[in-house]
Amino acid sequence: MLLKRMRHTTNAAKERLKELHEQHRELEEQMLAVFSEGLDHTIDIPEDEDAALGHSVRHLLHTHGGAEALRERSEQVSAYHHENYRPLMWGFFRPYRAELFRLSHLLTFRSAPHNPTLLDALAFIQRFQHARGDYVPAEIALDFASVRWQALIRTHRRLEMVVKRRQLEVCVCYYLDAGLRWGDVYVEGSEAYADYRQQLLPWAECAPRLPAYCQALQFAPTATEFVTALRERLREVARRVDAAYPDNTALPIDEDGPPHLKRRPAQSLPDDLATLEA
């Protein structure tokens, strides 16, 4: 359920980004109109009437759909300019937020590579699951997330670093999805998403089988001998390439040094291709 929902959320956000390519100009004009009106109010209202200015700006935002709707439009415009679908995921994530949180409480997630930061972030968003504010304290490490995700999540409020709660929730679920598919995260009691390391032979059982394994693959039985043999194979390949280069017409190197790879000629079809296709 988690993987399917997050895959749908990601794909829907990417499709929404494609749609924005066609309508971004209209969105930009709407946002610029609101910004221009806000500047007009700021210029027209004296500096000693901040309360009146605040009321006027709030009325302006309400007239154009409200601050929440305007913020979503702003994120859409920003997503278009940076080819970034991540800010658009919240709108598709929100209808299923309660179910995904319920699922996160029912399942016991564990981190396979012993990097607890993602699961710490999961516990963090669960702690603020019923919060209504837009921002939460920046009390967690985000090293599990990409630079683009971190730039989207982190922001400053009153000269203090904070985290956008909604975007953090999407990010954590996004990386839970990725971790389950890659094997970096597993679920206790699961069959398909269990800890894959439990299926591996312990080293104590592998060591006695190693000589026969190396002999079957014609590998040296020790690390030192393996590296020595590998280096010798590389030297032999280099010698053959150097010796054959004067006759190589597919990869000429000009006097300045750059190589030029030519298109390989088409190979004739094997005689038994028709039999294989049949």
The dihedrals phi and psi of 143, each to the nearest 5 degrees, come to -70, -10
- From CA 4, how far away is CA 235, in angstroms rounded? 49
The pLDDT confidence band at residue 76, using thresholds 50, 70 and 90, is low
Which residue, chain included where needed, has tokens 């759909």?
65
- From CA 79, how far away is CA 168, in angstroms rounded? 17
- Confidence at residue 136, expressed as pLDDT on a 0 to 100 scale: 94
Average pLDDT over residues 230-238: 96
Q: What is the pLDDT of residues 169-219, one digit of tens each?
A: 999 999 999 999 988 999 998 988 998 888 888 889 999 999 999 999 999
- From CA 201, how far away is CA 67, in angstroms rounded? 57
Using the predicted structure, report yes or no on whether residue 27 has a pLDDT greater than 80: no
Q: What is the pLDDT of residues 31-41, one digit of tens each?
A: 777 878 877 77
DSSP state string for 113-138? TS-THHHHHHHHHHHTTT--SSEEE-
The pLDDT confidence band at residue 78, using thresholds 50, 70 and 90, is low
Q: Determine whether 186 is exposed, middle or buried from the number of CB atoms within 10 Å of its CB (0-12, 13-18, 19+).
A: buried
Going through the chain in order, the beta strands assigned E by DSSP cover 109-111, 135-137, 154-157, 160-164, 185-187
The dihedrals phi and psi of 253, each to the nearest 5 degrees, come to -120, 120
What proportion of the chain, given as a percentage, has pLDDT over 90?
A: 46
Rounded-to-10 torsion of CA 239, 241, 244, 245: -120
- Confidence at residue 51, expressed as pLDDT on a 0 to 100 scale: 81
The pLDDT confidence band at residue 263, using thresholds 50, 70 and 90, is confident
- From CA 171, how far away is CA 53, in angstroms rounded? 36
Tell me the two tokens of residue 273.
């291709």
- Confidence at residue 272, expressed as pLDDT on a 0 to 100 scale: 92
